[in-house]
Amino acid sequence: MESFAPPLARKVAIDPDSATRSKRSTHLERSHESALAALTAVSSYLDSDEDLPAFFGRLSATIAEQSTARRAAFWRLGPRGTLALQPAPYGFGDESPVYGLRLQLGARGEGVLERLVFADELVLVKGTSPELDAIWHRAGLRDVRNSIAVAWRAGGRRIGAVSVYDSEHGFTAHDLWVLRLVGAAAGLLWQYKESEDEVAHIAVRLEEAMAARRHLLNNIAAGGDEARRRFASALHDDSLQLLTAAELQLERIRADAKGNHHAVQLDQLRLTLRKVEDSLRRLLTNVSSEPVQQPADLGEAISERLESLRIRAGIEPHIESRLPERIPQAIRGIVLKNIAEAVTNVEKHARATKVTVVAEKNDGGIRVSVKDNGTGFVVAESVRVPGHIGLVAVRERAQLAGGWCRIQSEPGAGTKIEFWVPLSL
């Protein structure tokens, strides 16, 4: 009887190179997923309102999950080369000694921590760094089974270290790579946070400076008005009164000296006293603060000042006013004082026949131009030229209010004074 042997089982050949490639592909895919999860956790801070301790606590949890670690922590590098725990580490109990640890780096890069973390010389042996484990054990974390740590930095700047502890199957080169990526991303985030805090601090200081400037400007304006009021009062009640009394005495002397050889000299003295009186009364008009405070409408106040210029000096004025209805009193005062100063400069020094004033709302403020057809001057030398100190006051008043001032002039080509002040101090 013929016997039949059972059919042999079919053998499947396995390509060892193919299996290796598949394993590498799986590791690479896992690395990408872990890196993406870590970077997503880091970047999420930019869209959240949570404070840094809470964020680093959440980031530590993500790092632990991606590296299959039971615990994770960030360590901040202090000014004396000491690593201290960043608040809210992940996986540590409230009674853990980790919260009181201070780890000193070695001098000149010779310490173990310095070498392992910041010189990137950490070597994995059976899923851990034995040298790093020994540091934790000596510091009091005796229950650490395995650990790795990398630098937490922004470019060349060392911020601290990030470490993970107690992976069930030990740490791999993949975990070390993801941790280094997290350290770099967290460093950039920390730098961003510091810049954000610095900007906020600068904004607060700027607001304080602006408040101080507003207070100073108000004090200067009030002090200037008060000084002018006192000067005008003294001029009117004292100097002009004495001058009037002197004129009356002179009239009596002239009456007694009719036909006397001193009569001509007394007449000349009478003319001189009247010129002095006229000069003092013009000075009284210029320094008195009352005209600045009376007009409620800025355009009307400018028109009155230019009409006074036409009557006194014969200079033909032209005004273009495109001003808003509501202007804060402080700004109105600054604008009118600057215009008065510029017009006074035209009257005293320009030898002009025409002056044009343009006042309008511009770029959130008031922009004014005062232009004449007078003799002009060299702007660079104006500070040293007697009588032009008022232009310095115009510039400083505008700048103090947060605005600007430009003066354009050349000998024989007239002068243009232009300034801008914001509508709010």
Q: Are residues 300 and 177 in the same domain?
A: no
Element (H, E) at 97: none
399 domain residue, yes or no: yes
275 domain residue, yes or no: no
364 domain residue, yes or no: yes
The pLDDT tens digits for 178-222 are: 888 888 888 888 888 878 888 888 888 888 877 776 677 666 655
Q: Give me the pLDDT at residue 397, please.
A: 85
* Residues paired with 75 in a beta bridge: 85, 161
Q: Could you tell me the CATH number of the domain that includes residue 363?
A: 3.30.565.10
9 domain residue, yes or no: no
77 domain residue, yes or no: yes
The pLDDT tens digits for 303-336 are: 988 998 888 889 999 999 999 988 888 888 889 9
Q: Give me the pLDDT at residue 294, please.
A: 47
| Phi, psi angles (nearest 5°) of residue 125 | -130, 110
Domain count, the chain: 2
Q: Are residues 184 and 317 in the same domain?
A: no
Q: Give me the pLDDT at residue 391, please.
A: 82
Q: Which residue has the higher pLDDT, 263 or 403?
A: 403
Among 148, 174, 200, identify where a domain stops: 200
**Residue 141 pLDDT greater than 70, yes or no:** yes
Q: Could you tell me the CATH number of the domain that includes residue 103?
A: 3.30.450.40
How many other CB atoms are there within 10 angstroms of residue 280's CB atom? 15
Among 200, 231, 254, identify where a domain stops: 200
Question: What residue numbers bound the domain in which 45 lies?
Answer: 18-200
123 domain residue, yes or no: yes
Q: Are residues 314 and 169 in the same domain?
A: no
Average pLDDT over residues 273-285: 72
pLDDT band at 20, cuts 50/70/90?
low
Q: Are residues 143 and 41 in the same domain?
A: yes
56 Cβ contact list (under 8 Å, min separation 6)? 74, 86, 87, 88, 186
55 domain residue, yes or no: yes
174 Cβ contact list (under 8 Å, min separation 6)? 27, 30, 31, 34
- For every residue of 292-316, DSSP letters joined together read HHS-SSHHHHHHHHHHHHHHHH-PE
317 domain residue, yes or no: yes
Q: Give me the pLDDT at residue 153, please.
A: 87
